[in-house]
Amino acid sequence: MTKRKNKGYKKSGNKRNNPEKQNNKQHSPQGKSKGSPKTTNKPPRGRKGIIAEVTCTGLTKEGKGVFQWEGKELSVENLLPGETAEVIISQKGRFTNAELKRVIKTSEDRVISPSKYYYERGGCQIHHMSYEAQTRFKQHTIDQLMDPFGKPDSIITMDHPYGYRNKNTMTFGMNKKKQIISGLYAPNTHRIIPMDGSMIHDPKADEIIQTIKGMMKSFKMQPYNEDTERGFLRHVLVRVGKNSGEIMVVLVAASPMFKGKNNFIKALKKEHPEITTIILNINNRSDSMVLGDQEKVLFGKGTITDTLCGLEFEISSKSFYQINPVQTEKLYSEAIKMAELTGNETVIDAYCGIGTIGLVASQKAGKVIGVELNKGAVRDAIRNSKRNGVKNARFYQGDAGEFMVQMAARGEKADVVILDPPRSGSDEAFLSSIVKLKPKRVVYVSCNPETQARDMKYLVKNGYKVKEIQPVDMFPQTVHVESVAKLVLK
Ligand code: SAH
């Protein structure tokens, strides 16, 4: 067990404070204080907002630094407990905004982030914290959420917490100088933060995306403009089989009219012979979904394969596949351990995606029944079970809750239910069917411990006992925590 420092964390975040972006120019987290800055509560002339010197007392669950100002609890990005800083406080309607100006006294938990995009958070909310501090922060988050059920185990960390993503997306656009840019959307906006890579992306994927960006001008390929609805390329998604080395490139375009397609593909393959398949995806939606429904394979077989826990999986562009394979193996092995399989059990793999957990479990179970909403993923699951010679697993398409209600109505039996729902968690139909089916063990895998705790509360009220909770760091540099819990029938 690692020692945990609980000092300096906050129970909840501050909802009133909504800083969108930080001050790029003046903020110097490593910088030394030049003299002692004064705190003033009057707006200085010629400036919007008030500059205040504050001390950070904790962190919100979004990883922002909490401080007190004029009796209000506010929070600001990129500030750590124990640090003092100058912040610019302004009022926007009902919201009090805080923006970091400069850090005066730095915490020993602060690191110079290896990310070039230090000041703008392209997907990494806590990359300014040492990995040890990130781990402490996540352990604290999970300990608080799971307090009603007992003490969670120590979080399983990642040895090299960078470059882990196997699915990497960048959005394309144009800056004011009419230069093509690639990057990630700033939080809660459609403003692109120009980036040529990310510390959590697969480096090869970022390299390919930059090659595409570099090729666009000579191929007269325009980035799509959301306002004018003109242009072609919206996003590029690169999926990498971390074990197989196979690489899928998905060009997400606003229209199927791809001028100079053959030459573009030829040139891209020449630059990156490691690409194994290229897909054109058509997306004319106006929401923030990356992929549209229509798809055309331009090169290769349209899928990639990868190995996970000794099994081979075929993955298509739209299927859900865990994005951090190194940590997924640890997560699945914990889940399988908690299922306590002896070879005879009937196991339900609910929200099964392409069948990964169920197929791993099938090696040790009597029979596996998988259920998943996404048709393509179910097709992949069936294909994956054949590919691995699995004879004792069946996969069904449908809503997991409805499927369980029907199973319970037919009086069917299950010994173990493994569930891995999306962030919104499970629902009452599903949970009440568990209560009717009475599996001896429930293994709940979750990427959102808040909804996991909510659902576990229901199961605990209805005859189950929480035996173990194991957090796993699947998303280093971000605030997200994965957790797997074992519940047994009382
Ligand atoms: N267990 C898989 C997938 C987990 S992600 C893995 O580890 O890879 C959650 C999955 O739940 C997604 O594949 C999503 O398509 C599916 N899903 C979402 N809502 C669902 C519902 N109501 N019923 C069944 N599956 C659902």
Please check if 452 is assigned to a binding site. no
Non-local CB neighbours of 114 within 8 Å, separated by 6+ positions: 127, 162, 199
Report residue 434 as tokens: 């568990």
Q: Beta 441-446 vs 482-489: how paired, if at all? A: antiparallel
Which residue's entry shows tokens 């760091």?
473
Question: What residue's CA is closest to ligand 1, atom 16?
Answer: 351
- The reply to whether ligand 1 has any atom less than 6 angstroms from the CB of 320 is yes
Q: pLDDT at position 42, please?
A: 43
CATH superfamily of 324-489: Vaccinia Virus protein VP39 (3.40.50.150)
Q: Residue 433: exposed, middle, or buried by beta-carbon count in 10 A (0-12, 13-18, 19+)?
A: buried
Ligand 1 centroid to residue 284 C-alpha, Å: 25
Question: What residue's CA is closest to ligand 1, atom 21?
Answer: 399
329: left (phi over 0), alpha (psi -120 to 50) or beta: alpha
Check: CB of residue 221 under 8 Å from CB of residue 169: no
CATH dotted code for 167-308? 2.40.50.1070
- The reply to whether ligand 1 has any atom less than 6 angstroms from the CB of 360 is no
- The reply to whether ligand 1 has any atom less than 6 angstroms from the CB of 384 is no
Ligand 1 centroid to residue 350 C-alpha, Å: 7
- The reply to whether ligand 1 has any atom less than 6 angstroms from the CB of 254 is no
Please check if 68 is assigned to a binding site. no
Which residue's entry shows tokens 């923006």?
99
- The reply to whether ligand 1 has any atom less than 6 angstroms from the CB of 373 is yes
Name the residue ranges covered by the structural domains of the chain: 1-145, 167-308, 324-489
Burial 151-183 (b: 16+ CB within 10 A, else e): ebbebbbbeebbbbbbbbbbbbbeeeeeebbbb
Does 124 qualify as catalytic in the annotation?
no
Q: Torsions phi, psi of 71, nearest 5?
A: 75, 0
- The reply to whether ligand 1 has any atom less than 6 angstroms from the CB of 374 is yes
Q: Residue 357: exposed, middle, or buried by beta-carbon count in 10 A (0-12, 13-18, 19+)?
A: buried
- The reply to whether ligand 1 has any atom less than 6 angstroms from the CB of 380 is no
297: left (phi over 0), alpha (psi -120 to 50) or beta: beta
- The reply to whether ligand 1 has any atom less than 6 angstroms from the CB of 400 is yes
Q: How far apart are CA 192 and CA 226, in angstroms?
A: 11
Catalytic residue among 56, 124, 352, 447: 447
Q: How far apart are CA 445 and CA 256, in angstroms?
A: 39
Atom of ligand 1 nearest to the CA of 399: 23
CATH superfamily of 1-145: Nucleic acid-binding proteins (2.40.50.140)
Please check if 412 is assigned to a binding site. no
Give, for ligand 1, the residue of 372, 406, 433, 445 to mutate: max count of ligand atoms closer than 8 Å to Cβ. Answer: 372
Q: Torsions phi, psi of 248, nearest 5?
A: -110, 130
Ligand 1 centroid to residue 144 C-alpha, Å: 26
Give the predicted TM-score (pTM) of the model. 0.88
Instruction: Specify the 3-state DSSP secondary structure of 314.
Output: strand
Question: What residue's CA is closest to ligand 1, atom 19?
Answer: 373
Ligand 1 centroid to residue 65 C-alpha, Å: 33
Check: CB of residue 290 under 8 Å from CB of residue 357: no
- The reply to whether ligand 1 has any atom less than 6 angstroms from the CB of 420 is yes
E strand spans, 19-133: 50-55, 58-59, 65-69, 72-76, 84-92, 95-105
Ligand 1 centroid to residue 22 C-alpha, Å: 36
Judge if 1-145 and 167-308 fold alike in CATH terms.
yes
CA distance from start to end of the chain: 28
Question: What residue's CA is closest to ligand 1, atom 13?
Answer: 353
Check: CB of residue 368 under 8 Å from CB of residue 380: no
Please check if 363 is assigned to a binding site. no
Q: How far apart are CA 404 and CA 411, in angstroms?
A: 11
What are the beta bridge partners of residue 193?
184
Residues of the chain with pLDDT below 70 are 1-47, 114-122
Ligand 1 centroid to residue 423 C-alpha, Å: 10
How far CA 25 is from CA of 96, 457, 473, in Å, comes to: 22, 47, 33
User: What's at 271, amino acid-wise?
Assistant: E
- Identify which of 163, 37, 136 has the alpha carbon closest to the alpha carbon of residue 80: 136
Q: pLDDT at position 93, please?
A: 86
Give, for ligand 1, the residue of 373, 407, 447, 482 to mutate: max count of ligand atoms closer than 8 Å to Cβ. Answer: 373
Q: pLDDT at position 288, please?
A: 81
- The reply to whether ligand 1 has any atom less than 6 angstroms from the CB of 399 is yes
- The reply to whether ligand 1 has any atom less than 6 angstroms from the CB of 430 is no
Check: CB of residue 195 under 8 Å from CB of residue 170: yes
Question: What residue's CA is closest to ligand 1, atom 12?
Answer: 353
Ligand 1 centroid to residue 420 C-alpha, Å: 7
**477 CA to centre of own chain:** 10
Ligand 1 centroid to residue 424 C-alpha, Å: 11
- The reply to whether ligand 1 has any atom less than 6 angstroms from the CB of 376 is no
Q: Would you give the DSSP letter of residue 447?
A: S
Give, for ligand 1, the residue of 311, 320, 384 to mutate: max count of ligand atoms closer than 8 Å to Cβ. Answer: 320
